[in-house]
Amino acid sequence: MVRNRASRRALLPVWRPWLVALFLMSASGQASQEESAKPFSLDQIAAQFPSQGFEDEIAFWTRVFTFYSETQVVFHDRDDLRIIYKTADMRRGIRGDYPEARRQRKLLRSTRSDLQKTLLEISRHGPNSDRLDGKQLEVVETVRSAGLKPTKELFRRLSTGVRYQRGVRDKFLEGLIRSGRYLQRIEQVFRSYDLPVELALMPHVESSFDYSAYSKVGAAGIWQFMRSTGRRFLTINRYIDERRDPLMATDAAARYLRELHQELGSWPLAVTAYNHGENGMARAKRQFGHDFRRIVDNYKSRLFGFASKNFYPELLAAIEVARNYKDYFGDVEIDRPRQFDTVALKHSYHVSVIQKAGGLDREVLKSFNPHLTRYVWERSRQVPAGFQLRLPQGSGHGVEQALVRYKPSRSPLTVAADGSMLYRVRRGNTLGQIASNFGTSVRTLQRWNGIKNPHSIRVGELLVVSRAPGQQVRQESRYRVRSGDSLASIARRFRTTVRQLLALNSLENPNRIFPGQLLVVLPR
């Protein structure tokens, strides 16, 4: 639905807003969540993050973040967030309670259906009809108070856009508290790449700074990297998943956002591309230029839905709330920055040995090393040699000295100095089995290790099974699609496969590429 932006602006005001050495904090220029002498306003960052034209969306998400609790559900219009029909009080939250979540979902869908019927009835009789009942008249007044002129056609369109949104005040506050553990270091990463420090607050929208976050579609960590995108910047295999490490993942997010901004030319487009995908935003930019308001109102794509359209204004609202959190939540005790020691393991050790050496509880050890996977903690229970083990501050030297007294485990894995992972071939191993265990292909292992015959590996041979992310990035090439190209012809040119190109570029349809589109290619 196309809206009159000029009238809306008249109604509402503009809303106000790795390497450990890298994280040594300087006294000057550090952003802090402490109250500053001058209140933060979104106007202060408008040159890079314009908010004009998104006042309604920012106001809506600010209330979702700060006013509505997780037991409150708001019924609203999908396209015009000024229209809030009603708020349902569900009395109980649903986190971790799947039966209750199913019960509430059924009830909420029924309520939405009733609202749609009400809107259709108003459309049929007309908003001024004396045949409307009290509930229908109340809906008409809600639409009118949003600054819209009620018409039959308007209510017909509104009937297809009813949506409900659960409040996240409790969740946002929890995320605000958790953010203190790493936020200063996260901000320093963005400064090191000369990127806007406000981007450090994106995890409020992505994950609420939940360091164990894992979505139903497979996105992991506070930056919610999908496996396909994460592998471009991070080590991800059976043993190590750096998406789950807040510092490693932040470095990856900063590089990815820098890349998106260089390609798309503005932060509204780059931030949205982080959520929606680079190719989709490149297509939108070709059609509508840099005007993100025009893109939101007019760009049509099956994948460019409510979440993608609202990701940027959600971020603006999160920035405003996080910077002025005392205005919304009062005095809050933010978690203190997490300090730690790092020990490079000279040998592989069983998890229980590391616990004994440091007198550490397993959950504490896991919280400091979230990038070690469940397979390590529950199956192999071995931390590979070369792994940079994080420990509570002050315990590193003692643990390092104590480990000398313990017998190393016989793990076949070693983490090389450059971050690559090495595997020592055991009796009975095949290259196919090894490739499957580490989420790669036989041909890739052959290329990395100079193996001509995949059936000729030897027991005791040391194989590279996971390349360091920096090496992966350097091996990548970029190709700009030309007229007459197909994904198959590009795959042949770079001696790769259509399937790999689809995965590397998050493409769904091999027939939908366009001239000028930039593709990541990884030659075999």
pLDDT over 90 (residue 235):
no
Report the run of H or E that residue 424 belongs to, with start and end: strand 421-424
More confident residue, 201 or 494: 201
Q: For 50-80, b where at least 16 C-beta lie within 10 A, e where not — what string?
A: bbebbbbbbbbbbbbbbebebbbbbbbbbbb
Instruction: Give every CB contact of residue 428 below 8 A, 6+ residues apart in sequence.
Output: none
Percent of the chain's residues with pLDDT above 90: 61
More confident residue, 285 or 519: 285
**Among 124-133, 313-322, 393-402, 490-499, the least confident range:** 490-499
Catalytic residue among 121, 198, 206, 259: 206
Model confidence, pTM: 0.79
What's the pLDDT at 137?
A: 96
What's the pLDDT at 468?
A: 67
Mean of pLDDT over the chain: 87
What's the pLDDT at 384?
A: 87
pLDDT over 90 (residue 182):
yes
What's the pLDDT at 258?
A: 97
Looking at residue 439, the DSSP 8-state letter turns out to be: T
What's the pLDDT at 33?
A: 45
More confident residue, 470 or 259: 259
What's the pLDDT at 342?
A: 93
What's the pLDDT at 414?
A: 81
pLDDT band at 3 (very low <50, low <70, confident <90, very high): very low
Q: CA triplet 84, 87, 88: central angle to 5 degrees?
A: 150
pLDDT over 80 (residue 2):
no
pLDDT over 90 (residue 381):
no
**Among 164-178, 320-334, 379-393, 507-521, the least confident range:** 507-521
Question: Which residue type sits at 352?
Answer: S
Mean pLDDT of the region 150-155: 96
Q: How many CB atoms lie within 10 A of CB 490?
A: 18
pLDDT band at 520 (very low <50, low <70, confident <90, very high): low
State pLDDT tens for residues 277-287: 999 999 999 99
Q: Maximum Cα–Cα distance for the chain, whole Å?
A: 88
CA distance 165 to 170: 14
pLDDT band at 238 (very low <50, low <70, confident <90, very high): confident
Looking at residue 213, the DSSP 8-state letter turns out to be: -
The residues that bridge with 350 in the sheet, in sequence order, are 382
Residue 70: active-site member: no
pLDDT over 50 (residue 475):
no
pLDDT band at 439 (very low <50, low <70, confident <90, very high): confident
pLDDT band at 59 (very low <50, low <70, confident <90, very high): very high
pLDDT band at 70 (very low <50, low <70, confident <90, very high): very high
More confident residue, 495 or 14: 495
What's the pLDDT at 477?
A: 56
